[in-house]
A and B are shown apart, each in its own frame.
Chain A
């Protein structure tokens, strides 16, 4: 009985919330455009390899280092491979690394943040002190250090980027949890004797969800940039792969002669991160209006 009361009276109705969110988000024109651009990237990541005009791995030594043309929209590389096709195929790799690392970091960070914020006292203190130690390392450097231990490779890039995402998610979720904890309906649920894990995951977590989504979007951009930087430094994806950062790294040797090799991979990284940042700003304005200027 009391359960019903808490649900209907104090829980924000999720369906109404979603609808009002969509209604507000639709007015952010640039954010909506970015959202569609990002969807396009996701589609390319899923079906890219089957729609590309050229095989991205087949060399063509008759057409080496050619500039952009109608045949090769983004030119060809030092083996005569079509850069445009390679970029499309690389979407899966570059987005995949970004998304998986941020998701890993977000899940771990969220759990830590929920625990820290909900239990408080020494649990909170311990977790937050550990986060402080992580914050003492500038993030890319932390990733570089981790890769120095684990060795180069995409998998290790994912782990490294995930690790530097953990403390920032933990801190944000903790703050939000503290806020939610004081809200009426948590008090009501606790008074009827619900278990702690039930309170955390059924009641506190949904309230922190919108904050997590905003953070996820914003951090995804940063993660893609970080992964590209690491690959560019030769610590990530293997230089022969079609990862955007790795493509840039390889193309440095052809700076003077074939600038398109530098230009297009960087441009696509820039546009991807830009769309994520604009989307993140839009989401934040709608979901978390307090933080809007």
Chain B
């Protein structure tokens, strides 16, 4: 198994390199000269030249990439054009709240998604199923920013129970994580349902019943594990949705996370920050998918690690 894990990790390295190169190229695709942008409107040609040299913009593009990657490996993402704070520092203080928020959203989306999915599958074509699936299709269709705004109106403006934004206390995490997790919960509920319905038709379920096992034992002890294998994959894919959603939701709740930093930086045209953010987001996504792949193998004994 250890061998398989190492093999998979080595396998994603080319993808990481290609993705990082694309993100790197991105700054060069932006119309206009970054050096001029950094120097400001009143800068002289000489000043611009100096900045260009400092940022290695006068070197061949491949050279620049290597310099950038070298810095990256040493934890150096360059400097913000606007505030001149190291990008690493800017992102560093935003990272933890963002990760906490994603994990919280994913956590409750998984718990409630699986719960709704199981109820719907067990009571297939009866009212818990209809209720569950109406909730799920609504959850997928809800614009998360609107859900966030409606919650703010209800729980902050009207009732005054929760803060409208920020991450100062655990209360600040409640509404953002709900807005972020709703769509994923709905997806997970739908997949759990269809996967479990499929599993409950299997022969081994009938075997279980023929042995006198109770429905609870059959659903939770036998069917759920094999049903959850595809759900894991879906949850992994949804992680991308979560990263994208965090950009929007963090903006709605003025949440001090990486998503809002990205939007702020785009509006300020602070490209080194945008570049670093896009790179981190896609690396995170690739890594999560790797973990999901490995988890899939772990849950499914039929996959042998020798190959």
Binding site for B on A (CB under 8 A): 132-133, 136-141, 144-145, 147-149, 151, 221, 225, 228-229, 232-235, 248, 252, 255-256, 259, 262-263, 265-267, 269-270, 273-274, 276-278, 281, 293
Contact = CB atoms under 8 A, between A and B. Distances in A.
B176 interface: no
Given A140-B244, A233-B251, A269 B19 contact: no
Contact of B247 (A137, A151, A233, A277): A233
B248 interface: yes
Given A144-B247, A144-B266, A145-B26, 8 more contacts: A145-B274, A148-B266, A232-B251, A255-B152, A259-B153, A270-B142, A273-B141, A293-B198
B143 A225 contact: yes
A266 B150 CA distance: 9
Contacts of B30: 148-149
Q: Which of B29, B145, B157, B285 has the most CB of A within 10 A?
A: B145
B194 interface: yes
B29 A149 contact: yes
Interface in B72-120: none
Interface of B: 15, 18-19, 22-23, 26, 29-31, 137-138, 140-146, 149-150, 152-153, 157, 193-194, 197-198, 239-241, 243-245, 247-248, 251-252, 262-263, 266-267, 271, 274, 278, 281-282, 285-286
A259 B240 CA distance: 31
Contacts of B194: 293
- Secondary structure dominating the interface of B: helix
A277 B262 contact: no
Nearest to A138: B240
A267 B147 CA distance: 10
A151 B140 CA distance: 29
Given A133-B22, A144-B262, A270-B143, A281 B137 contact: yes
Nearest to B15: A136
Nearest to B18: A133
Contact of A132 (B15, B149, B157, B252): B15
B264 to A, nearest CB: 10
Contact of A141 (B29, B243, B251): B243
A138 B141 contact: no
Contact of B149 (A145, A234, A255): A255
Nearest to B262: A144
A119 B141 CA distance: 37
Contacts of B262: 144
Contacts of B152: 255
Contact of A277 (B141, B144, B282): B141
A248 B146 contact: yes
B84 to A, nearest CB: 20
B136 to A, nearest CB: 10
B261 to A, nearest CB: 12
Contacts of A233: 247-248, 251, 263
Contacts of B271: 148
Given A148-B30, A233-B251, A278-B137, A133 B266 contact: no
Contacts of B285: 136-138
A248 B248 CA distance: 13
Residue among A133, A144, A265 with most chain B CB within 10 A? A144
